[in-house]
Amino acid sequence: MPRGGRKGHKGQRKQFSNPDEIDRQMKAQKELEANGGAEKESSAESDEESSSSDEDNESKRRSGVEGLIEIENPNRLSQKSKKVVDVDVSAPRELSRREREEIEKQKSKERYMKLHMEGKTEQARTDLARLAIIKKQREEAALKREQLRKDKDVEEAKAKR
């Protein structure tokens, strides 16, 4: 049964084996096996231990996959400091995606407004048609009012006589 019952341990300290302790135990086990064998085997083991220590030093220098392949991560930014002399101020700065999209959006809006003012867009045509209808209705209403006013003036003139 695991520590802490069926549900596992609850926040208690985990106990890990010390790597040096594991190496010492393995060496002791190899020595017990070697005592039964010839001295040639023990000399071969000492050679293996010296070569493994060289490999350990090499693996400490490069951990993980770094020892096997050269890692070329495009997302990893290397912090290289630039000298003031090397910086080219006159070079054009590349725009970010958001900046490019914002500029394109503004240009398309300006283009649309220009066409709208010229009356070439669909919305401008419908607006102009609606305005023409409204103007016509207002003219008719103004003519009706004028006619009613004239009729009223004629009636008042007849009543005064």
Give the number of domains in the chain: 2
Rounded-to-integer distance, Cα 134 and Cα 126, Å: 12
Of residues 131 and 81, more confidently modeled: 131
| 131 belongs to a structural domain | yes
Q: What is the pLDDT of residue 2?
A: 57
55, 81, 98 - which closes a domain: 55
Q: Is 32 exposed, middle or buried (0-12, 13-18, 19+ CB in 10 A)?
A: exposed
Q: What is the pLDDT of residue 74?
A: 72
Q: Which of 6-15, 45-54, 108-117 has the highest average model confidence (pLDDT)?
A: 108-117
- pLDDT tens for residues 88-108? 777 778 889 999 999 999 999
| 91 belongs to a structural domain | no
% of the chain with per-residue pLDDT over 70 = 67
| 119 belongs to a structural domain | yes
- pLDDT tens for residues 22-47? 999 999 988 888 886 544 444 544 55
| 2 belongs to a structural domain | no
Task: Name the residue range of residue 34's domain.
Answer: 21-55
Q: What is the pLDDT of residue 81?
A: 77
| 96 belongs to a structural domain | no
55, 79, 98 - which closes a domain: 55
Rounded-to-integer distance, Cα 41 and Cα 47, Å: 10
> How many C-alpha atoms does 22 have within 13 Å on its Cβ side?
4
| 135 belongs to a structural domain | yes
CA dist 82 → 49, 132, 152 (Å): 46, 66, 91
